[in-house]
Amino acid sequence: MEPLITIKDIGRKYVIGTEIIHAIKSVSLTINKGEFVALMGPSGSGKSTLMNILGCLDTPTKGDYILNGINVSQMTENQLAEVRNSEIGFVFQTFNLLPRNSALDNVALPLVYAGVSKEQRQERARQTLENVGLGHRVDHRPNELSGGQRQRVAVARALINNPSIILADEPTGNLDTKTSIEIMGLIEDIHDKGNTIILVTHEEDIAQHAHRIVRMRDGLVENDYVNPNIQRVDRTSVTL
């Protein structure tokens, strides 16, 4: 089986004045379709830079990034934007929802860029919101929703284009403990349906939901191992 993601000797440096900062020195990774991977590391470890490269928000200074059989390492901004919209679903800590738009319109937004008709956009967005337990909140704006509900809208938006990868950046960072458990239960459900999840987190208990943990330090992979103690959300404690 061909890997979904292959990165070979990826490096990323930034020039600030006369100083050169090597945010990533050399990283090689393979992620197969259907994996649930947690990417961890302290501040300055390079995990945020690696996340930006995996999400096609940035390009490496050296090395190759093969995503779903396509080398995206040297793509232009416009090409990267097309890949992001078709291959990657993003879930951010701060939700990144448009405040004046309804939940339905927020979820449908990626389909606008994909050229899908309005009728199809609304139908698919409504069904996707139903799938994440928000079928009764489609007309509500973000300020009319709880933090957990806003993150569910963000998850629905990430899923709308049937992407190859769900990239979740600190998805529980702005949520209380109970709501964090609910969102991790939702992410587990998405993984159980066959989606590939890359979860970026600094929280150890959140990372333990992943099947594989990649730890970074000083721009390098420090550890990459299968999680022997996978935590699963107790479904009796989860409410929609």
Express each pLDDT in 86-108 by its tens digit.
899 999 888 899 999 999 999 99
Burial 85-105 (b: 16+ CB within 10 A, else e): bebbbbbbbebebeeeebbbb
Express each pLDDT in 40-95 by its tens digit.
998 889 998 999 999 999 999 999 999 999 999 989 999 999 899 889 999 988 88
String of DSSP letters for 6-18: EEEEEEEEEEETT
The total number of structural domains in the chain stands at: 1
Could you tell me the residue range of the domain that residue 24 belongs to? 5-237
pLDDT value at 237 more than 80: no
Query: Cα–Cα distance between 197 and 150 in angstroms, integer?
Result: 19
What does the radius of gyration of the chain's CA atoms come to, in whole angstroms? 18
Asked if residues 86 and 113 have their Cβ atoms less than 8 Å apart, the reply is: no
Averaged confidence pLDDT in the chain: 91
Specify the pTM.
0.90
For residue 2, the model assigns a pLDDT of 72
Beta bridge partners of 90: 167
CA 21 to chain centre: 26
- What's the CATH code of the domain at 139? 3.40.50.300
